[in-house]
Amino acid sequence: MRIGVLCGGGDCPGLNPAIRGIYLRGLDFSDEIIGILDGWKGLLEKKTQKLELSDIDEIMGRGGTILGTSRTNPYKKENGGKVCFDNFKELGLDSLIAIGGDDTLGVANKLFSDFNMPVVGVPKTMDNDLSATDWTFGFDTSVTSAIDALEKLRDTGRSHRRIMILEVMGRDTGWVALFTAIGGGADYVLIPEMNVNLEKMCEHLKKVYERKKHALVVVSEGIDLGKEETGSVDEFGHTILQKKGVGKIISDEIEKRTGIETRLAVIGHIQRGGTPTLFDRILGVRTGIKAVDLIHEKKFGRMVAQIGNKIADVSLSEGVGKTKFVDKEWIDLVDTVFK
Ligand code: F6P
């Protein structure tokens, strides 16, 4: 079979292992794997690269994606869906694997329902916010990087007797911030799923400071401070949250309310790069392999999912459009883990 593969949306560590899994499983079936460059943009423009073994030989430990990615939404272009489908046929592809988060998989689902295009999805996102799968690759590595940053902030915060704030990504959900804060032993966390109570937070930080003479706070970029959202949106309509700068607002408020010197660090895209962790490597490879299996089983319109420790599949229509928010079970733990 001639299988196209593309990566859409934000990059993350684990994409290259997934591409490697796809290629290696394809070899078992003598498939040809055609990389589509820069996400849906590449399909709109027929920009491809036939993958060879030498392309994937040494990519296991490389962050990002060898295929490139973009936030291009073909459905925002005139006749974009149809162009994608026509190009898919012109390229002689038998099926397409779309690796991405909710936006990319949403487009894959639409192409499947509008044109019966033989697509299969592989979930990825550092935000870990896809409801159909327990874990997505990218998350473990980005949280590991954020914890590393937090440990460094602890060193300087302790030396200068300061409160240190780390703003992390995660979009509308707080998985990245919460796991960074718990995993890094922070003193407080602000996530979109919980109301921001500045007074309560500052009282808590004053107590922590009395004890340790420093404190660490993790702030998710997506928290709602009741201010109007400003700034640009991407082609899928998402506000570019980093530009909102909630970390700065929180940092200024803490300093004003506690009288303690406070500094902010925004990890930003640093947490999207770097060599994938073991977890993300294995999940990437496993999901890539499964996608090729789904194609050979003719299970189109489906996406790979990790459910428990099993690699399973669900229909794309079930899997997209539902954000997985931090649930009560975790929120109930917050008072226990931050003392
Ligand atoms: O969805 C992944 C993510 O890293 C979010 O956490 C973040 O809000 C967004 O992408 C940033 O996107 P971009 O790289 O397009 O600025």
Q: Whose CA is nearest to atom 2 of ligand 1?
A: 10
What is the DSSP code string of 244-290?
G-HHHHHHHHHHHHH---EEEEE-GGGGG-SPPPHHHHHHHHHHHHH
My answer on whether 80 and 173 are in the same domain is: no
pLDDT recorded at residue 19: 98
Q: Ligand 1 in contact with 244 (CB < 6 A)? A: no
Both 145 and 133 in one domain: the answer is no
**Domain containing 15: what range?**
2-137+276-320
Residue 69 CA to residue 42 CA, distance in Å, equals: 9
What DSSP designation does 63 have? -
Q: Does the Cβ of 272 fall within 6 Å of ligand 1?
A: yes
Phi-psi bin for 309: left (phi > 0), alpha (psi -120 to 50), beta?
A: alpha
| Strands (DSSP E) found in 8-51 | 32-36, 48-50
Q: Which two tokens stand for residue 229?
A: 């959202």
pLDDT of the residue at 230: 62
- Per DSSP, the three-state class of 67 is coil
Task: Flag whether 130 is in a domain.
Answer: yes
% of the chain at pLDDT higher than 90: 94
Structure token digits, residue 294: 């789904």
Domain count of the fold of the chain: 2
Q: Are residues 149 and 242 in the same domain?
A: yes
Is residue 162 in a domain? yes
Confidence grade of residue 233 (pLDDT, cut at 50, 70, 90): confident
With 90 as the cut, is the pLDDT of residue 274 above it? Answer: yes
Candidate of 141, 169, 232, 267 to mutate for ligand 1, largest count of ligand atoms within 8 Å of Cβ:
169
Cα(214) to centroid(ligand 1), Å: 30
Average pLDDT value for residue range 47-55 = 98
The answer on 164 and 132 residing in a single domain is no
